[in-house]
Amino acid sequence: MSLIEISRRFDDMTLELLRSCIGRELVAYEGYCLEGEGDHIYKTARVTFDDFSVDLVNEHETLALGPNFDEEQVAILRAVPAKGELWTPPGKSVTRVECGFMVADVLVVVDTAILAKGSRKLIDFRWVQALLFENEDGSLLALDRDIWSDEYLTVRRGPSVATTTRDFRPDWVAEPPFGYEFGRSILRLSNPKA
């Protein structure tokens, strides 16, 4: 059997939408948060700029990722132009967190897990792990997928990708003779070749 490639990276239209955020004021982000945790958003986070908004939607898909190509529920992050009201459970409300900074760059973190049996590669899975907005002073606001199979997004601020995004490798465990190879790439959208 040949290598199966599964890609859940952003397409060109999505990258253009996110590239249009550069040079704009990031006014706020909002979403349905866990009780008392304004940095832990369930399923959809709305990022509001001076004259438009983007929804980051982290919803389950069923993908064949296991050693025997078993199907698993995996949360996949998408970015789309915002429309309508944000989803909230009955009797709950949306939390809004003000940001108020100019976006100097947008970074997309793409992680890779390659499942192998011995030296034979079986599945090459690539997905968007996090989306980061860089302030003019170089600090970052990250909207990071929580556990890879979960629909929560975690919001963190910090000085680097390493301090604001989750290391996904401990989530992936395979019994010998199976194993994983991992990788991470970072696209800076101010780079026109990204």
pLDDT score, position 75: 92
pLDDT score, position 98: 95
Q: Which of 133, 125, 128 is nearest to 164 (CA)?
A: 133
The 8-class DSSP code of residue 171 comes to G
Number of other residues whose CB lies within 10 A of the CB of residue 81: 9
Q: How far apart are CA 159 and CA 182, in angstroms?
A: 24
Q: Which of 133, 134, 116 is nearest to 125 (CA)?
A: 116
The 8-class DSSP code of residue 2 comes to P
By CB neighbour count within 10 A (0-12 exposed, 13-18 middle, 19+ buried), where does 172 fall? middle
Q: How far apart are CA 136 and CA 133, in angstroms?
A: 10
Each residue's pLDDT, cut to its tens digit, for the chain (194 residues) gives: 688 999 999 999 999 999 999 999 999 999 998 766 668 888 999 999 999 999 999 999 999 887 788 888 999 999 999 999 988 888 888 999 999 999 999 999 999 999 999 889 999 999 999 999 999 999 999 999 877 678 999 999 999 999 999 888 877 888 889 989 999 999 999 986 65
Through-space distance between the first and last CA atoms of the chain, rounded to whole angstroms: 32
pLDDT score, position 70: 84
pLDDT score, position 37: 66
Q: What is the per-residue DSSP string for 108-133?
A: EEEEEEEEEETTEEEEEEEEEEEEEE
Instruction: Retrieve residue 134's tokens.
Output: 């860089």
By CB neighbour count within 10 A (0-12 exposed, 13-18 middle, 19+ buried), where does 150 fall? middle
Phi, psi for 159 (deg, rounded to 5):
-90, -15
Q: What DSSP element (H or E) covers 17?
A: helix 12-19
Q: How far apart are CA 173 and CA 184, in angstroms?
A: 18
pLDDT score, position 110: 96
pLDDT score, position 149: 73
The position carrying tokens 């190509």 is: 69
Phi, psi for 170 (deg, rounded to 5):
-65, -15
